[in-house]
Chains A and B, each alone.
Chain A
Amino acid sequence: MRPTSSVARRAFAESRISTGSFALLFAVVAYAQAFGYDASFPTLRDRMQFAESFADNMALRTMYGFPHDLLSTGGYTAWRVGGVLSIVAAAWALLAAIRVLRAEEDSGRQELVLSGIVGRRGAYLAAITAIAAGAAVLWLATLLGLVGGGLDAGGSAFLALAIVSPVPVFAGVGALASQFAPTRRLATGMASAVLALAFVTRVIADTSAGLSWLRWASPLGWVEEMRAFSSARPEVLALPLISGAALLTLAGAIALRRDVGSGLLRSRDRSSPRLGLLSSPVALALRGERGVLVAWLAGVGIFAFVIGSLAKTVAGAGLSADLERELQKVGGAAITTPAGYVGLTFLFLVLALSLFACSQVAAARSEEAEGRLETLFALPVGRRDWLGGRLALAAAATVVLALAAGALAWAGAASQGADVSLSQMLEAGANCLPAALLFGAFGALALALAPRASAAIAYGLVAVAFVWELLGALLGAPGWMLGLSPFHHVGLLPAEPFRAVAALVMLGLAAATALAAAWAFRRRDLSAA
């Protein structure tokens, strides 16, 4: 057993930074929601009023899920925290599974392990053990956050369990994708598509009358049906456990039977030459990233279309001025009109586009980490030209995604007869750009100054800024501190007016940062992994 357990320990240790950051995020979010609700709505009367207007709000349901109980701190926290963190836990699980199962094979390291005295079964079990250990860390972090925020230990333990309950299922999805796909990239794409499907299914179930049974079709819906802090149903935990075990067993059975280093889907290793898009590094990057761009376009487009088509069903209820102010703290203004609904949900589009911009920086970094820049820069290819081209490509792709999101949100809304115009929605899409481009430029500067940590820095800044935007006001932070997050300066178009000054400042800062990045990148040593 010893060699197998050292493989498991190694896998766990290699993911310590990623798991540690997720654990910190879980603890902070859990703590802030529990603590913030008590502070914002101290009396039952406040809570009744809040619950009345929120119970049927579709925008918030899209993001957070179905509220079972908004009158208690626990019920509110379960709603605000459960829906979002369970998605993050699912994403963590599939990435972790693909890292330990596919990336290890992709890099050839698995061959080395299996050439020793660790068998295939042992290696697979070690990988799963490492994921389970990581999930335990996330569970503990969430529990500590909830208890720290003033909730009782028993209920918190169950809510934390509900939040990490998608882990077995999505670890299973990641493990299965790792058996099919011959590369890490394809495995991540396949597993992410399953997660997106689960999310969309949950959104439809939560927001469409008569379709609430669909919740049972999504592992993210199961989290809601566990009803932590309202009428807890621990028996629902059996669903993710059983389906997760089934997926993992199936993936394990395939892993024991196939050739090491391959996937069930054969990669095509021969082809006659296709000479398109080979004229420059930017052209080749576009050639390589085509699949990723199409996947993002599909994901963002479907999200926007669903948002658009739900906009009409949002109930228009008058709100008191007091409540309006409290609403500002939990998610924004005027969310009771179709335009307001789209505006608020588009804040998530800003997040998605920012993450996309970071993913492009990470792709550029991997060119360097895998040594290909050394080949490239020994040719008559200038470094500034290369980085400039990559950034221009990333910016152009971000613009395309933003406009496509606007157009599809309009199409969705128009299909339901909602009262928004195409130009309004294209503006709302474009409005997402300054913040996303700014994050991309920050990522580029990280690439120039701290290449090995650049992806972590880029994604980390987006995550911290977004969490701060969601939680800062709730924690009573002063305005200048809230203003540190670029998300704070995004007007909720089409409900709010366009904030031209903020947008121009962000774009100017992005351009200046990108120039600084190009300058610094030219002056440093190339650094492979």
Chain B
Amino acid sequence: MTAAIRADGLTKRYGDTLALDALDLAVAPGEVYGYLGPNGAGKTTTIRMLLGLHRPSAGHAAIFGIDAWSTPVAAHRRLAYVPGEPFLWPALTGAETLAYLARLHGDSDKAYGDLLVQRFKLDTDKKVRALSKGNRQKVQLIAAFATRADLMILDEPTTGLDPLMEMAFRETVLEAKARGQTVFLSSHILSEVEALCDRVGILRDGRLVDEGTLGELRHLAAQTIDVSFDGPAPDLRGLEGVHVAPAGRSALRLEVSGGVGPVIAALAEHPVATLTSREPSLEEIFLHHYDGSTGSNGRAPH
């Protein structure tokens, strides 16, 4: 099956700056893919090359097998895009903008568009120049989702939305997913990605440092175990793959990467009172990759 998005060795330099470094990416049709990274990691650069707006310095990108740079118009018939900054025509009203964008796309579901206008509570008689950033973003979201395109490319689409609208956005993405549309969601709102995405890629300094389902990422990242003891806490330093932090006189917090077997064995020799273990949240996985200066393995020592 042809991938909805495929990037091979995608590289972009702006002058001396390496914005994207040999990115390989494959997003399957029907997948909701979360693209995570801090500001300046190269998320928007990736999207601009997926859209053929910027020219790759090396490598190439394809949308459903159609080359993004050499045949952009054909590629764009299969996708819809929501930019992070709402760039619209200030003198047009919301309704006029929706009509214009629908005509340019050529294929748009008017009834679904009307439903989205209701759902996002957009006042379509207002001119764009009088709309707040969040409301402009709604216009872009409605225009994009109304196309029901096979692939939705969303670049931080909810940064200006209030929590109610954020829920409307999630509902809309899940509808698209149920219909079999592919969604590429660049974001740094982790709860959103956690709630919506099947698979997540984490970008850092122009390189994909981690990729997988949330389950896989959790498995790779450190697990947190809080232990309290009857009596003073023992010294557990020196265990392979375990970071130990004291949590009071008789408690420890252990960050375990890899298997927990050695930890259990070590704890068995001590009077354990309580033990709680939890999976890392996406936030912790994310911070794990960006915290401090270490590479992709291990948490930086505190």
- Residue among A275, A281, A523 facing the most chain B CB atoms (10 A cut-off): A275
Cβ-defined partner of B126 (8 Å) among A269, A375, A383? A269
Residues of A within 8 A of B130 (CB): 267, 269-270
With A523-B55, A525-B53 known as contacts, the answer to whether A267 contacts B83 (CB < 8 A) is no
Residues of B within 8 A of A380 (CB): 73-74, 76-77, 104-106
Residues of B within 8 A of A269 (CB): 126-127, 129-130
Cβ-defined partner of B127 (8 Å) among A268, A275, A375, A377? A268
With A273-B125, A379-B104 known as contacts, the answer to whether A288 contacts B91 (CB < 8 A) is yes
B3 to chain A, nearest CB (A): 19
Cβ-defined partner of A278 (8 Å) among B55, B72, B103? B103
In the bound assembly, the distance between CA atoms of A372 and B101 in angstroms comes to 12
Q: Which of chain A's residues 224-269 have a Cβ closer than 8 Å to chain B?
A: 267-269
Q: Which of chain B's residues 62-90 have a Cβ closer than 8 Å to chain A?
A: 72-74, 76-77, 79-81, 83, 85, 87-89
Contact A378 B106 (CB under 8 A): no
Number of chain A residues close to chain B: CB under 8 A: 32
Contact B99 A275 (CB under 8 A): yes
In the bound assembly, the distance between CA atoms of A375 and B87 in angstroms comes to 7
Residues of B within 8 A of A284 (CB): 89, 100
With A271-B127, A273-B99, A275-B96 known as contacts, the answer to whether A525 contacts B55 (CB < 8 A) is yes
Residues of A within 8 A of B104 (CB): 280-281, 376, 379-381
A370 is an interface residue with CB less than 8 A from chain B = yes
Interface range on chain B: under 10, 10 to 19, 20 to 34, or 35 or more?
35 or more
Contact A378 B83 (CB under 8 A): yes
Cβ-defined partner of A370 (8 Å) among B53, B76, B87, B100? B87
Per-residue CB proximity of B98-113 to A under 8 Å, as 1/0?
0111011110000000
Residues of A within 8 A of B83 (CB): 371, 374-375, 378
Residues of A within 8 A of B55 (CB): 523-525
A43 is an interface residue with CB less than 8 A from chain B = no
A498 to chain B, nearest CB (A): 41
| Nearest opposing residue in chain A for B98, CB measure | A273
In the bound assembly, the distance between CA atoms of A378 and B50 in angstroms comes to 10
Residues of A within 8 A of B54 (CB): 525-526
A320 is an interface residue with CB less than 8 A from chain B = no
B126 to chain A, nearest CB (A): 6
B48 is an interface residue with CB less than 8 A from chain A = yes
Q: Which of chain B's residues 196-238 have a Cβ closer than 8 Å to chain A?
A: none
B95 is an interface residue with CB less than 8 A from chain A = yes
A279 is an interface residue with CB less than 8 A from chain B = yes
A508 is an interface residue with CB less than 8 A from chain B = no
A272 is an interface residue with CB less than 8 A from chain B = yes
Contact B103 A378 (CB under 8 A): no
- Residue among A267, A271, A382 facing the most chain B CB atoms (10 A cut-off): A271
B254 is an interface residue with CB less than 8 A from chain A = no
- Residue among A280, A371, A375 facing the most chain B CB atoms (10 A cut-off): A375
Residues of A within 8 A of B48 (CB): 374, 525-526
In the bound assembly, the distance between CA atoms of A284 and B95 in angstroms comes to 14
With A267-B129, A378-B53 known as contacts, the answer to whether A372 contacts B88 (CB < 8 A) is yes
Contact B85 A371 (CB under 8 A): yes
Contact A279 B103 (CB under 8 A): yes
Residues of B within 8 A of A45 (CB): none
Contact A379 B125 (CB under 8 A): no
Residues of B within 8 A of A524 (CB): 55
A263 to chain B, nearest CB (A): 12
Contact B126 A379 (CB under 8 A): no
In the bound assembly, the distance between CA atoms of A270 and B95 in angstroms comes to 11
A274 is an interface residue with CB less than 8 A from chain B = yes
Residues of A within 8 A of B182 (CB): none
Residues of B within 8 A of A280 (CB): 103-104
B172 is an interface residue with CB less than 8 A from chain A = no
Contact B105 A273 (CB under 8 A): no
Residues of A within 8 A of B96 (CB): 273-275, 278
B51 is an interface residue with CB less than 8 A from chain A = yes
B46 is an interface residue with CB less than 8 A from chain A = no
| Nearest opposing residue in chain A for B101, CB measure | A379
Contact A288 B89 (CB under 8 A): yes
With A278-B99, A379-B105 known as contacts, the answer to whether A526 contacts B53 (CB < 8 A) is yes
In the bound assembly, the distance between CA atoms of A63 and B163 in angstroms comes to 63
With A275-B99, A381-B104, A526-B54 known as contacts, the answer to whether A270 contacts B125 (CB < 8 A) is yes
B281 is an interface residue with CB less than 8 A from chain A = no
With A270-B93, A284-B100, A372-B87 known as contacts, the answer to whether A378 contacts B125 (CB < 8 A) is no
Per-residue CB proximity of A378-390 to B under 8 Å, as 1/0?
1111110000000
A250 to chain B, nearest CB (A): 27
| Nearest opposing residue in chain A for B81, CB measure | A378
Residues of B within 8 A of A267 (CB): 127, 129-130
Per-residue CB proximity of B108-144 to A under 8 Å, as 1/0?
0000000000000000111101100000000010000
Per-residue CB proximity of A177-217 to B under 8 Å, as 1/0?
00000000000000000000000000000000000000000
Per-residue CB proximity of A503-529 to B under 8 Å, as 1/0?
000000000000000000001111000
Contact A372 B93 (CB under 8 A): no
Residues of A within 8 A of B125 (CB): 270-273
In the bound assembly, the distance between CA atoms of A372 and B127 in angstroms comes to 16
Given contacts A375-B88, A378-B153, 19 further A-B contacts (CB under 8 A): A267-B127, A267-B129, A273-B95, A273-B96, A288-B89, A288-B91, A371-B83, A372-B88, A372-B89, A374-B48, A377-B53, A378-B53, A379-B76, A379-B81, A380-B73, A380-B74, A382-B72, A382-B73, A526-B48
Chain B interface residues toward A at CB < 8 A: 48, 51-55, 72-74, 76-77, 79-81, 83, 85, 87-89, 91, 93, 95-96, 99-101, 103-106, 124-127, 129-130, 140, 153
18 pairs, A vs B, C-beta closer than 8 Å? A270-B130, A272-B95, A273-B99, A278-B100, A371-B83, A371-B87, A374-B87, A375-B88, A375-B101, A377-B51, A378-B51, A378-B80, A378-B153, A379-B81, A379-B101, A379-B105, A383-B72, A526-B48
